[in-house]
Structure 1
Amino acid sequence: MLSRLVLTDYRNHAATTIVVAPGFVVLAGDNGAGKTNVLEAVSLLAPGRGLRRAALSAIARVEGGGGFGVAATLVSGDEVATGTLASAPERRIVRINGATATANALAERFSILWLTPAMDRLFVEPASERRRFLDRLVLALAPAHAHHAARYEAAMRQRNRLLADETPADPTWLGALEGAMGDHGAAIVAARRATVDALNDRLAGAPGGFARAGLTIDGGEEDDLARRLADGRRRDAAAGRTLVGPHRSDLVVTHLDKGQPAAISSTGEQKALLFGIVLAHAALVADRTGRPPILLLDEVAAHLDPHRRAALFDALSGVGQVWMTGTEAALFAGLPGTAVQFHVDAGRISRH
């Protein structure tokens, strides 16, 4: 969990400090007050570009000095660490207990997963969005997944540039890049498959309350990828991109109780399927690592009736630290008394 969060020149937060506890953390306030900015800051402690996927330069406060800082005190059992993220201005700088660390180092200490209103369309968006969602699930169980994904993407970009060059590429160099893609691609595929299998086991026995999802991976699991890449150089050069590999796969989700694809389910059913996946994943991470993930749920209660809100809050109880935002504090009246609630107004935060 996080016990303390400090934002400096972060979007509309000039200097914000939040002290929280285990369980529920609620941020309530008007649209544009800065609630989601806080969740985004927490999400940037995980590998990647956060829940908005924004450029670092777009995050720094307009009236600030061009950079920003996020400092978090992390508590795991008896261990307490301080993680710091800063930008200068387009370079991501990570420190743990004052020592410079890699961008992915914090993922070894805790995991973060989020749901935002934009993700309500996950099942009808392009396959890249579902791959990104799946990879965040994988990362919580296999922190090395970020390394393999980064190395695979880097090798693929270099290969694509070589194939696009009018000068014939050195076949030895191409072979080395394709070998790296094959090795890292195999690790990516194995980690994704293991996560999907474990989630399916968990979802099959999930209690009622949320739609049950079935997960499969479609495509991208080619055998002997390095050879297939070598054989497809002419084809990929003509296409201007690499046409085989795990970057082409898709996460296919089925509404098990109705036996239909999530893509043709109702909006409410799609949201329920997402909730079910996230809750199953949180329980899986807690069982495997002993550390429940931090959940960031943006505007999660806005379109739920009181009965479904109560069911959601009940399901979230005990799964770890859960950060939620909403425009009205009344939306969270059903939470236990231990919930920590804040009011957000124009980048200023006060305790309820």
Structure 2
Amino acid sequence: MATPAPVALSRLQLTDFRNYRAASLDFDARLIAFVGDNGAGKTNLLEAISLLSAGRGLRRAQLSELTRRDASGGWSVSAVLQGMDGETRIGTGLAPGGGRKVRINGADARSSESLLEYLRVLWLVPSMDGLFTGPAGDRRRFLDRLVLAVDPGHGRRVGDFEKALRGRNRLLENGGSGPYLDAVEAQIAALGVAVGVARRETVSLLRDLVGTRADDSDPFPRAAITLEGAFETLADSAAATDLEDRYRALLAQGRTRDRAAGRTLEGPHRSDPVVIHTAKAMPAGQASTGEQKALLIGLVLAHAELTARIARMTPVLLLDEVAAHLDPRRRQALFARLSALGLQVFMTGTDALLFADLPRDAQRFTVTEATIAVDTPPQ
């Protein structure tokens, strides 16, 4: 397999984004740390980078919420990439009509999905710490982000599937006729199977990679994802060519029940991606808090490696406040793993000592109330 092309941001510019009136940063390193007090604007920088890819960014915020308070217009984020096609300029921001605008090398792009041709962005943020014990919906969104990084069409399929489900629910509520329900259920079945198959394929690839790359002495224990739910049981027992027909029949049979419930009760939108601590053969949600964090980090790192292989370009990784929750041994192991992966990684923390073990060629910035200064590397 060909070596993935290295991709990295060499410049980032913000205008009226969150607490930044204007900011311009130049990068010449793979590992980059932003250090500052809580509320200074460190995570805002990561969020800006996350918006240079498809989707709503790491906070899933409404576009209007991103504009700096008291700003007269909208916001914008732009970057210069060094990648497989040389230098590429990409940008996004709030359009005059309230939607999202995307530009690539000065030309308007059709949608944010176009950015995936040039950049894949992955992240790990504190809000994900309860992923293993929280609601299944959070785990599905997490898994769909994993799938999107290796399958750029997945986000649109998920959106279309959810839209079709809402249409069926309205038909059931309003007493829609059989032919109308037949038509929308055929659409749901086609989209739902495509969503489910993409998830299962990514889970399989990730499981294979984790099984070959980690061992029981690794500071970040092996984690495996399994998909549970009625749809998964159906998919396990049906041939691929029959799955769509069987799911469509299941929807038709469940109309009375779903009408009473006010929602569609069967399908991949109800699947639960359960993470297993493989060394202990138990659900990750039953592990200690420290083990859960280490499992999540290991899973994200494995996914970064898988993304590089499938996309044939290295992703950019965002790690918000990750080092603060690791003991010194795991911090050193994390920085060593990141260096070995060859990714560009942006990290945040409140204490510069957390990044003392970064290599000398790493970049460090101090963030103070939306002001960013370059730090001198430690001697």
Query: What residue in structure 1 maps to residue 303 of structure 2?
Result: 281
Letter in 1 for 2:221: A
Give the structure-1-normalised TM-score.
Answer: 0.95
Distance in 2 of aligned mates of 1:176 and 1:72: 44
Farther-moved stretch of structure 1 (110-119 vs 30-39): 110-119
Q: 1:137-187: per-residue Cα shift (whole Å, max 9, x none)?
A: 11111111112111111111112122222xx32433322221121111111
Distance in 1 of aligned mates of 2:167 and 2:86: 41
Q: 1:292-339: per-residue Cα shift (whole Å, max 9, x none)?
A: 211100001112222221111011113211000001222111111111
Query: What residue in structure 2 maps to residue 212 of structure 1?
Result: 222
Letter in 1 for 2:13: V
Alignment counterpart, residue 195 of structure 2, candidates 182, 188, 194: 188
Task: Report the CA distance between 1:74 and its aligned residue.
Answer: 2.2
Alignment counterpart, residue 159 of structure 1, candidates 163, 168, 179: 168
Distance in 1 of aligned mates of 2:271 and 2:89: 37
Matches for 1:17-32 after TM superposition, within 5 Å = 17-32=24-39
Distance in 2 of aligned mates of 1:20 and 1:318: 19
Letter in 2 for 1:264: Q
Alignment counterpart, residue 144 of structure 1, candidates 145, 150, 153: 153
Task: Report the CA distance between 1:22 and its aligned residue.
Answer: 4.3
Distance in 1 of aligned mates of 2:118 and 2:195: 21
Unaligned 5+ segments in structure 2 are 1-7, 235-242
Alignment counterpart, residue 13 of structure 2, candidates 6, 13, 19: 6
Q: 1:6-62: per-residue Cα shift (whole Å, max 9, x none)?
A: 111111011011111341111111110000001111112222221111112221111
Query: What residue in structure 2 maps to residue 292 of structure 1?
Result: 314
* Paired residue secondary structure (2:92): strand
Distance in 2 of aligned mates of 1:172 and 1:293: 45
Q: Is the 8 A contact 1:66 1:88 kept in 2?
A: no
Alignment counterpart, residue 327 of structure 2, candidates 282, 299, 305: 305
Query: What residue in structure 1 maps to residue 346 of structure 2?
Result: 323
* Paired residue secondary structure (1:121): coil
Farther-moved stretch of structure 1 (95-104 vs 123-132): 95-104
Alignment counterpart, residue 91 of structure 1, candidates 75, 99, 110: 99
User: Percent identity between the aligned chains?
Assistant: 51
Task: Report the CA distance between 1:112 and its aligned residue.
Answer: 1.2
Q: Is the 8 A contact 1:23 1:318 kept in 2?
A: no
Distance in 2 of aligned mates of 1:76 and 1:234: 53
TM-align CA RMSD: 1.5
Distance in 1 of aligned mates of 2:100 and 2:178: 35
**Aligned positions, number:** 350
Distance in 2 of aligned mates of 1:226 and 1:91: 35
Letter in 2 for 1:231: Q
Distance in 2 of aligned mates of 1:108 and 1:28: 31
Q: 1:210-264: per-residue Cα shift (whole Å, max 9, x none)?
A: 1111211112334332222222222211111111111111111111111111011
Query: Would you say 1:56 and 2:79 are equivalent positions?
Result: no
Q: Is the 8 A contact 2:52 2:119 kept in 1?
A: no
* Paired residue secondary structure (1:315): helix
